[in-house]
Structure 1
Amino acid sequence: MNEHLLTNPGGGGNNTSVTMELVKCFHDDDAFKYRAYTFTYLLLFPVAFLCNIGALAVFFMQSTRRSSASCVVMMNLALSDGSFSLTLPLRLAYYFRGGVWEFPDWLCRLCVYGFYVNLYTSILFLTLLSVLRWLAVARPLGHRAQATPTRALLVCVGVWLFVGVSSAPFLSNGVTNRAGFPRCFEPSNPSSWGRVLILNYVALALGFLLPFLTIISCYSSLVRRLTARSGLHGSGRRRNRHRSVHLVAMVTATFLLCFLPYHVIRSLHLHAVCGGWNCDVTVALQRAVVVTLCLAASNSVVNPLLYYYSTRTFRDNMRDAHSSLLSSRGGSFKSGLALIRRRNTN
C-alpha cells in the first residue's frame, strides 16, 4: 500500500519459492527506482518548497482571510504540501547513496508517514474546496452563513486527525537491514501482504473513490447551473461562476493525472505480489508504480497553480507582495503592506 512496499515483497509463508523469486526480481530492478525518484525529487523539492511557503505567506498577508472558508482550506493544503517538501532532501540523500539510510530510524518512519498524510489530506482538502465552490454557486445567498471560516477550520482539523490516525500503521515500519546495509522505505515483515491488500482497498474507497465521485458530482452540477443561468445579467456573477468551474475542472484534472494512475497501478501491483504472478509482469507493474508514485508526489507543485489561477484575490496579493518587496529596497516596505491591506478591504 505504500512506496516502501515496492522493494521487498513476500507472498506469505505458503509459497516460499515464489516469495524468494519475487524478492530477487524486485531488487534486481532497484536501479530504475532510484534513478526515477532521484530525478523527480530533484525537480520537486525547490519548486514545492518555494511555491507552498510563498503561498502560505500570501495567505497570511490577506487581511480578509478569516472571512473566507476557501482560503482556510487552501492554507491547510499549502501547509500539507510544504511539510511534505521538507522530507524530500532526506529521500534524495537516501537515493543518492544507492539505498543506504544514514539517518535515525524515526526520520525514516516520519518520511514514510509524511507521504501518505500529504497524499490523503491533499485529496480531502481538494474535495472540500470543490464542495465549497458548489455551495457558492448552488446557494449564492446563504452559502457564507453555512460555510463559515470557523466551520471550515473545524473540518480541516478533522481531516488532519482522520488521516493522521489512519496513516499511523506506516509509523511501524522503520529502518531494516538488507545485504548488510540499513534500508528505508522497505517492509520489515514480508509476510503481511494480504493485510496490506485489504488496507489498500480501504484507502482506495475512502481516500480516493468517495472524494473523486464527490468532485465529479460537484463539477456536473456546476456545469448544469452555469448553462441554465448563462443568460442572467451581471458580469460579476458570471465571472464567479466561471472561476468556480475552473477550480473544479483543475481539481478533477489533478485527480486524473496525479491520483488515479497511482491508486489503480498500486492495486494491480499488490494483486500481482499476493497472487504470485509472473516475475516479468510483477516487475513491470513495480516500474509503473514508481512512475505513478512520482506523479502522485507532483501534486505538491500542482496545487499552487490552483491557488493562482482560480483565486483572483490570491493573484492580486501576489502582485502586491512583489511590489512591496521591490519597494522595500527603497525603504518603503510598510507602504507596500499597506497597499495589500487596502486592496483586501475594498
Structure 2
Amino acid sequence: MTALPPTSAPTLSNASVTCDNCSHFKYMSYTVTYSIVFPVGLLSNLVALFVFLWHTPKKTANTVFMTNLAISDVSFTLTLPFRLIYYSRECHWNFPDWLCRWCVYSFYVNLYTSVLFLMGLSVLRYLAVVHPMRNKTLVTVRRASLACFGIWVFVALMSVPFLMSGTLKDGEKMRCFDPGPQKNWIRILHLNYLALVLGFLIPFSTILICYGCIIYKLFAGRKVRNQKSRRRLRSVYLIALILTTFLLCFLPYHIVRTVHLHAIVSRGNCRLEGFLLRIPVLTLCVAASNSCLNPIMYYFAGERFRTSFQRASRRGTLSSDSFRMSLQWRNRSNRSVMNHAPITVLSQEEKPEKPDIK
C-alpha cells in the first residue's frame, strides 16, 4: 500500500485549531493501549464467536445479541494494527486515504453498536426477570436478529459523516485521525451532541431503568430456593458487568469529549487545550478497551456460554489426550512386535548383493 500523492490531500498548515497535533504522550498512550487491546480483544472475541457459532446448539435471543457484539469487536480490533503503525511512526500515515477514513468510521460503529447491543441485552434480562410469561411469547431468535440488523443499519448510517475526514498533509507527514479546519471541528461538535443523546444518554437511561426494576424484583424480600438464588446471582453479575463497562468505558469518554470539543471550538489558550488533550487520550484508550471486557461478560454472566465453552475445552482436551494415548499404544505395540519377532538368517541367495565398484 502506498500513500496518496501530496497534492491529493488537503494541508494542515494554517488550518488546524489544535495546539499539539500529535504529542509524545498521545502517540505513546495509543501505542501501548492498542498493543494490548489488539491481541487480547481479537483472540478472546474470536474464541467467543467460535463458541457461539459452533458449540452452542440452541440459539437464544441473548446469544444473537452477544454474537453481534463479538462481531463488532472483532471488526474493530482488525483496524488496530494500522493505528499502531501510525502512532509508532509518530503520526505519519503511509496507507491509502480510504483506509484512514475506514479506521475512523469503524471506531464509532464499534462504539455505538456496543452500547446498543448492551442495551438490548439489558432489555432481554428485564423481560426474563420481571415479565417471564410475556418473555416466552415476545422474545424470539428471529426478532432478536431483526433488532440487531436494525442496530447495525442505524449506527452505520449515523456514522457516515465520520467518513468525510481523511488524510491531511502536514509538512513531510501525512496525518490521519485529525479533523483539520475549524469548520470540521464545529461539525464534529454538532455530531457529538447527536451521538451523546442517541448513542449514550438514551441507552444508558434505558439500562438504568431496566436494572432498577430487576433489582427491585430480585430483592423484594422474597425467600427463593437455591436454583432461583443462582439465577438471581447471574442477573446481578450481568448488571455489575454492563454497568462497569458503561461507567468505566463510555461515560468518561463522552463527558470529556464534549468538554474537549468545546475548548477547541472556542479557541481558548494552548495551555488549557494542552491539558485537556491528555484527558481525552486516556478516556479514548479506556473506551477502546471495551472489546476486551465483553468476553468477560459472556463467560461470567452467560451460563449457556460458560457451559458451551467448558464443553468445547473438554472436547479439545479429550481429543488431544486420545490422540496422545493412541500414539503411545501404537509405539508400545510396535515395540512388542519387535521384541517377539523371530530372528531370521538370510541365505546366501537372499543376501543383498554388494554393488560392483569399478
Report the TM-score when normalising by structure 1. Answer: 0.86
Distance 1:155 1:299, change over 3 A: same
Query: 2:223 — aligned with what?
Result: 231
Output the CA distance in 2 between the equivalents of 1:192 and 1:128.
Answer: 33
5 Å matches for 1:1-346?
22-23=17-18, 25-27=19-21, 30-66=23-59, 68-228=60-220, 230-232=222-224, 234-330=225-321
Decide whether the 8 Å contact of 2:129 with 2:214 is kept in 1: yes
Output the CA distance in 1 between the equivalents of 2:186 and 2:166.
Answer: 20
Deviates more, 1:186-195 or 1:33-42: 186-195
Paired residue type of 2:185: W
- Displacement of 1:236 in angstroms is 2.2
- Displacement of 1:255 in angstroms is 0.4
Decide whether the 8 Å contact of 2:51 with 2:308 is kept in 1: yes
Paired residue type of 1:100: H
The percent identity for this pair of structures is 47
* Long gaps (5+) in structure 1: 1-7, 11-15, 333-346
Q: Give the greater-gyration-radius structure (CA).
A: 2
Paired residue type of 1:26: D
* Long gaps (5+) in structure 2: 1-10, 324-358
Decide whether the 8 Å contact of 1:219 with 1:249 is kept in 2: no
Distance 1:49 1:271, change over 3 A: same
Aligned-pair RMSD on alpha carbons?
Answer: 2.0
Deviates more, 1:318-327 or 1:101-110: 318-327
Aligned residues: 314
Paired residue type of 2:20: F
Query: What is the SS of the residue equivalent to 1:187?
Result: coil
Decide whether the 8 Å contact of 2:29 with 2:282 is kept in 1: yes
Query: What is the SS of the residue equivalent to 1:141?
Result: helix
- Displacement of 1:96 in angstroms is 1.1
Paired residue type of 2:259: L
